[in-house]
């Protein structure tokens, strides 16, 4: 009796500004795409290791004599970020929630100013606040002059965010709270609104190292396995915001831990690198990092 060999189905392949995202038919079979994220509206919100990298590249010397906010303009920041080996430039428009209309207008003006200087494929993010992002993301899409990745829509925001995504021909990251069934449902709901299945990135949400990473890893792995087995509504590439999750952990923000926790700056860097390595093993296709130093290290790793 001849044994039937089940052939794995490939992940959908997304062509984006010269990049190929997905397309693999097994774990670790494709090279992940790396995005470098900037808090472009308020850089002061960035992690200490991120600030250190940009300050060091700028060669400003003493921070007290040269406050970061006084000389690292958004144009300077994107110029420095684009000198790294990142595949995608990710801009987080982390606007304040007060005076929302005014700050959305400022975000639009800033994006208009930056667009002519952006050479890398682009990802645009909101502030992770549902009531703000349903207004901010559509407003930012109004001024875009090319297709980008929009992050993100979820079950509470997709009705407002999907239409301008479809109109602009953008790619949409759809976030669900570590739930494979809801991830599939959201892909169906957004496709019913006209969003092509070839324009979707699955964002399962996740935790950083020590903060739910294991659960997030397992859901990503389950989605990949379902896709390889032929589930077309889960066959989209995965995106993981590893940098954000790792660098908001208390171990990366506070130097009050015992000496056994190791050097503070090195520990912070390793939290992001370890989190990124894990989600790559889980099958993530787009990894979003915040520390520019991590880009080269992860590229060498894979």
Range of the domain at 255: 27-301
Inside any domain, residue 4: no
Indicate the DSSP class of residue 238: B
The encoded tokens of residue 59 equal 């060669």
pLDDT for the residue 6: 65
Inside any domain, residue 176: yes
What domain count does the chain have? 1
Query: How much is the pTM?
Result: 0.92
Inside any domain, residue 17: no
Inside any domain, residue 60: yes
Going by their DSSP bridges, the two strands 19-22 and 13-16 should be labelled as antiparallel
The encoded tokens of residue 229 equal 């087995």
pLDDT per position as a tens digit, 276-285:
999 999 999 9
210 has pLDDT over 80: no
* Domain CATH code at residue 33: 3.20.20.20
pLDDT per position as a tens digit, 242-252:
999 999 999 99
pLDDT per position as a tens digit, 31-82:
899 999 999 999 999 999 999 999 998 754 434 334 444 469 999 999 999 9
Q: What is the mean pLDDT of the chain?
A: 91
150 has pLDDT over 70: yes
Inside any domain, residue 107: yes
56 class by beta-carbon count within 10 Å (0-12 exposed, 13-18 middle, 19+ buried): exposed
Q: Where are the beta strands (DSSP E) in the chain?
A: 13-16, 19-22, 33-39, 88-92, 122-125, 149-153, 171-175, 200-203, 239-240, 286-289
Cα(221)–Cα(215) distance, integer angstroms: 10
pLDDT for the residue 167: 97
| Range 6-18 average pLDDT | 90
Inside any domain, residue 115: yes
Higher-confidence residue of 258 and 98: namely 98
| Range 136-159 average pLDDT | 97
Query: What percent of the chain has pLDDT above 90?
Result: 81
Inside any domain, residue 6: no
pLDDT for the residue 60: 44
Inside any domain, residue 154: yes
| Range 226-231 average pLDDT | 96
Cα(192)–Cα(141) distance, integer angstroms: 21
């Amino acid at each position: 009796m001849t044994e039937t060999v089940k052939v794995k189905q490939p992940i959908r392949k997304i062509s984006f500004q010269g990049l190929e995202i997905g397309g693999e038919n097994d774990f670790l079979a494709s090279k992940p795409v790396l995005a470098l994220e900037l808090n472009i509206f308020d850089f002061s919100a960035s992690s200490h290791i991120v600030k250190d990298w940009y300050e060091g590249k700028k060669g400003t010397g003493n921070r007290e004599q040269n406050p970061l906010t006084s000389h690292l303009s958004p144009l300077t920041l994107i110029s420095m970020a684009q000198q790294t080996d990142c595949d995608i430039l990710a801009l987080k428009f982390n606007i304040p929630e007060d005076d929302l209309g005014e700050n959305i207008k400022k975000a639009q003006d800033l994006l208009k100013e930056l667009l002519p200087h952006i050479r890398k494929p682009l990802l645009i993010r909101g502030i992770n606040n549902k009531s703000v992002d349903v207004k901010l993301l559509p407003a930012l899409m109004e001024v875009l002059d090319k297709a980008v990745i929009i992050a993100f829509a979820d079950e509470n925001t997709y009705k407002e965010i999907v239409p301008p995504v479809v109109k602009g021909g953008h790619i949409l990251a759809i976030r669900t709270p570590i739930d494979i069934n809801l991830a599939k449902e959201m892909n169906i709901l957004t496709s019913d609104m006209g969003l092509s299945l070839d324009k979707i990135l699955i964002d399962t949400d996740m935790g950083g190292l020590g903060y739910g990473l294991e659960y997030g890893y397992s859901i990503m792995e389950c989605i990949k396995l379902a896709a390889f087995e032929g589930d077309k509504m889960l066959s989209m590439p995965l995106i993981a915001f590893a940098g954000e999750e790792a660098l908001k952990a208390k171990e990366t923000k506070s130097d009050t831990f015992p000496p056994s926790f190791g050097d503070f700056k090195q520990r912070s860097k390793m939290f992001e690198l370890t989190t990124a390595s894990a989600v790559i093993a889980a099958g993530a296709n787009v990894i979003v990092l915040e520390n520019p130093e991590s880009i080269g290290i992860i590229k060498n790793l894979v």
